[in-house]
Amino acid sequence: MRIGQFAAGALASLICASALATEPLSSEELSVESMPPKGNHWVYVIDEAFYNEIDSRVRVFDGDTYRHLGQIDAGFNPGVIISPDGKTTAVTTTYFSRGGHGTRTDIVEFTDNSSLAIAGEIVLPTKRAQMQPTYFNLAYAPSGRFAYVAYITPALSFGVLDTANKKVVTEIDTAGCALVIPTGPSAVSSLCDSGRLLTVTLDGTGHEVSRALSDAFFNADSDPIFVQGIPAAGGYTFLSFNGQVYPIDFSGDKPVISSPWPLVNAAERGVWRPGGQQVGAINRRLGRLYVPMHRGGEETHKEGGTEIWVFDLDSHKRLERWPVSAEHLNPVIAIQVTQDDKPLLFTGGEDGTVAVWDAKAGHVRHTEKTLGQSPWFFLTP
Amino acid sequence: MNPIDRLFEKSSRSLAQRTARRGFLGLLGQVLTGSVLIPLLPIDRVNRAEAAPTKSGGAIGATPKSGSNDPQNCEYWKYCAIDGFLCSCCGGSSHSCPPGTTASPITWIGTCQNPGDGRDYIVSYNDCCGKTSCGNCECNRNEREKPLYRLSRNNDVNWCMANSDANYHCSVSVILGVSEK
């Protein structure tokens, strides 16, 4: 015991002497970081915070350095979108005046992506669609001048927003069709239960000029399409519950709907299917489609993928099947890919794990357990 | 008029004063049609025969199957298209809201088969509103669930949307009647 005390005392003296022999740390200045220049492999992780939904948030994460770069608050059941020029993140959300209860304020908040500081807001009528994030809860016109926000009261309509003057311009009834898909320079399409697209064309002030319905292209009874569209060259691609792929070109004044093609062959149809909350991702440069797939019946359309299937968009051929268990992951509910030629794939698992994959090799490089409790929608800026 | 009929009637009226759209009328028609069937209901014997409750929600993304007699279990037959937290684990029951919350006047509708009598029942999945997320017994099942464009069959949207206190707390499954084949 005595020997122990002596040894401890001697060690303390040694440490003290050694500390005195070096220069002390210089004083620090408290500062606030600005955002670094945008990297090719950044991802915006939308955490719906399912177990405390009023506290959703967007985490900005670098898939190369694995650094958490910052956060944007997102309130309750948010929609999140990045402006066409990349400078702004817009979040549509709801706040309650007393935290978990009280008067409801529906809002679009704009965040400056160079600082992550709030850069303005538009207060909405209390009608915004409170639901899981998709690309179509809130959308920018290609010019960035207007934005569109989906309303459900439960009547379906949308608001046209003037992003420069931070004002609601008008509300447009969509006759039972849902969500806001930007079409061409100045039109908005919505998905209808009849299997059609409603497209409303706007004038230069954001008011309706005309509207048109497409032919029916899917059947909501026998094989509905997921509302989670996937950004693709010139438009969005939609997947159906049974694994049909519907590419739609939204770059012109009218949407052009291509013939569907299947993710599954005859033996796989009804056995393997896409599922989850963000059900596919496309790298436009490589022409690759990534889809989380699982075995299951019709009622399993929200189940996570046990495998990721990779398709070539030109030939429609399946190139790869990557079982996620081989990468020690739980089934995958959300998927996103970067747009460069050495892309990273991001997946969000049923257990909340975010995985960073090499999107060519099909191997996981890194996992994050605490990026969000329910990180099930990703944007790659 | 039973309490649930009164609830639907009162809340539907106030809602109708605020909205007048085709989508809403279609939805309202379904809800009201269901509500008048309530006095004719057979007794929910499976519910009464429940064993000691256990708290076990379904994993997010997984699809539990019907097979439990326990209303605190995601596999309980009435929950075949529920998505959220079970009110039976939050101070309510499979068909009642927890104290201090308010029931959503609008809802989505499903059909679930009761293995106890082999009958298909039409159920309404109401949300209980006005407090923050309960967080207990998360349950996500999607039999015949449809995307948002078929709103009356969709469980992704916040059905507390038309409540004056619109925060989502938990979900119940209320039997409206036997589904006639």
Res B65: pLDDT: 57
Minimal CA separation from A13 to chain B, in Å: 53
CATH of A223-381, one of 2.130.10.10, 2.40.110.10, 2.20.25.240, 3.40.630.30: 2.130.10.10
Res A21: pLDDT: 73
Res A259: pLDDT: 96
Give yes or no for a contact between A153 and A131, defined as CB atoms under 8 angstroms apart: no
Q: Where are the domains of chain A?
A: 40-216, 223-381
- Exposure string of A153-190, with b = 16+ CB inside 10 Å and e = fewer, is bbbbbbbbbbbeeeebbeebbbbbbbbbbbbbebbbbb
Chain A, residues 77-136, CB within 8 A of chain B, namely 77, 94, 96, 99-102, 104, 126, 129-132
Res B1: pLDDT: 39
Task: Please give the residue that has the higher pLDDT: either A277 or B63.
Answer: A277
Q: What is the mean pLDDT of residues A354-379?
A: 97
Residue A267 is which amino acid? Answer: A
Query: Which one of B44, B70, B83, B127 is the catalytic residue?
Result: B127
Res A248: pLDDT: 98
CB contact under 8 A, A333 and B140: no
Whether the predicted pLDDT of B48 surpasses 50 = no
Give Cα separations from B123 to A346, B33, B34, B82 (angstroms).
Answer: 38, 12, 8, 10
- Quick check: B141 contacting A, CB < 8 Å? yes
Q: What is the mean pLDDT of residues A98-125?
A: 97
- Quick check: B138 contacting A, CB < 8 Å? yes
Angle between helices B22-35 and B3-18 (to 10 degrees): 170
pLDDT in tens, A146-178: 999 999 999 999 999 999 999 999 999 999 999
Whether the predicted pLDDT of B66 surpasses 70 = no
d(CA B178, CA B3): 20
Same CATH topology for A40-216 and A223-381? yes
Q: What is the ipTM of this complex?
A: 0.92
Q: What is the mean pLDDT of residues B149-168?
A: 96
Which residue in B18, B181, B24 sits closest to B107, CA to CA? Answer: B24
Whether the predicted pLDDT of B51 surpasses 80 = no
DSSP SS3 for A93: strand
List the beta strands (DSSP E) in A254-331: 256-257, 261-262, 272-274, 281-283, 288-295, 307-312, 318-323
- Quick check: A23 contacting B, CB < 8 Å? no
| Dihedral in degrees, nearest 10, Cα atoms A177, A180, A185, A187 | 20
Q: Reduced to 3 DSSP states, what percent helix, strand and coil does chain B have, rounded to the nearest 5?
A: 25, 20, 55
Q: Please give the CATH number for the structural domain made up of A40-216.
A: 2.130.10.10
Substitution target from B141, B149, B170, B171 for chain A, most A beta carbons within 10 A: B149
Q: What is the mean pLDDT of residues A87-109?
A: 97
CB contact under 8 A, A53 and B133: yes
pLDDT in tens, A133-152: 999 999 999 999 999 999 99
Res B28: pLDDT: 38
Task: Please give the residue that has the higher pLDDT: either A316 or B108.
Answer: A316
Smallest Cβ distance to B62: which of A102, A193, A350?
A: A350
Which residue in A289, A326, A288 sits closest to A307, CA to CA? Answer: A326
**Active site (annotated) includes residue B159:** no
**Active site (annotated) includes residue B77:** no
Task: Please give the residue that has the higher pLDDT: either A290 or B37.
Answer: A290
DSSP-derived secondary structure letter, B10: H
DSSP-derived secondary structure letter, A114: T
Please state the pTM of the whole predicted model. 0.86
